[in-house]
A and B are shown apart, each in its own frame.
Chain A
Amino acid sequence: MELREIQDILKANVWAGESRLDMEVHAACGCDLMSDVLAFAKEEVLLLTGLINPQVIRTAEMLDIKAIVFVRGKSPTEDMINMANQKKMVLLSTDQPLYVACGKLYGRGLMNKGDN
């Protein structure tokens, strides 16, 4: 699924990587615990999270996660946006809570975590 489509489904704002919205993700992982993301996420997933701090970007970097959606109407900080731009990541935000955002994407065919 293209990030542009995800942006549309979640009515998301774009904070970083506007020019990279044609990127594809094949799975998603919704999580507020970074260690769980580190334990279970596969490559090239979309991360959905309610956490706002630079370690979210760092965790994504460690896992080659290229796109993050911040849920529950939270927006990333200036620091996080700068980090994401350096690492060529896409940052989105939506008003939807985590559960609903994940549900909508799942319902439209995006798989969980990366296993089929």
Chain B
Amino acid sequence: MKLHYQVDGDNFLVAGEASASLKRTLKQLGIDSSIIRKISISMYEAEMNMVIHAYGGVIDVEISTDKVHILLKDKGPGIPDIDLAMKEGYSTASHEIRELGFGAGMGLPNMKRYSDHLNIYSEVGVGTTVEIIVFLM
């Protein structure tokens, strides 16, 4: 099953719709709730990053019998140093974003923790692609 989502870049308040929608679909498919949780947390953090740090983007999800594969693509500013960005607590988020409860620099570490594979491809000035894989068995 393939799903496609468009993520609006300028509305922090409604962000997360794609992750919520995927979560509902996974529930309908009868997937184990602890696995749904891993997928939801990883994708939600990645979707929020697209909105907070880039200008939105597109998400493609492929659900197969053994795994869920999520590809998030944005045309944002890119990440100059991915190793640094992966560090717990590292964040370039604005004060406004922090006041809303985000920007603690825990998003990428959370994605790493909850996914089975996390790959980040990024080019400064071009954009970022985040690939998340969670196995279903």
Contacts and interface: CB of A to CB of B under 8 A. Distances in A.
A53 B20 contact: no
B115 interface: no
Interface residue SS majority, chain B: helix
B107 interface: yes
Interface stretch (A9-17, A19-27, A59-67, A90-98): A59-67
A66 to B, nearest CB: 13
Contacts of B12: 55
Contacts of B23: 61-62
A56 B44 CA distance: 12
Interface stretch (B61-69, B96-104, B121-129): B96-104
Interface in B86-137: 100-102, 104-107, 109-110, 113
Contact of B106 (A35, A43, A64): A35
Nearest to B43: A62
Interface in B34-87: 37, 40-41, 44-45, 48
Interface residues of B, number: 25
Interface residues of A, number: 21
B19 A62 contact: yes
Interface residue SS majority, chain A: helix
A79 B105 CA distance: 27
Nearest to A49: B101
Contacts of B100: 51, 53, 55
A58 B37 contact: no
B102 A34 contact: yes
B78 to A, nearest CB: 21
Nearest to A80: B13
B33 interface: yes
Nearest to B48: A55
B7 interface: no
B1 interface: no
Interface of A: 32-36, 38-39, 43, 49, 51, 53-56, 58-59, 61-64, 79
Interface of B: 12-16, 19-20, 23, 33, 37, 40-41, 44-45, 48, 100-102, 104-107, 109-110, 113
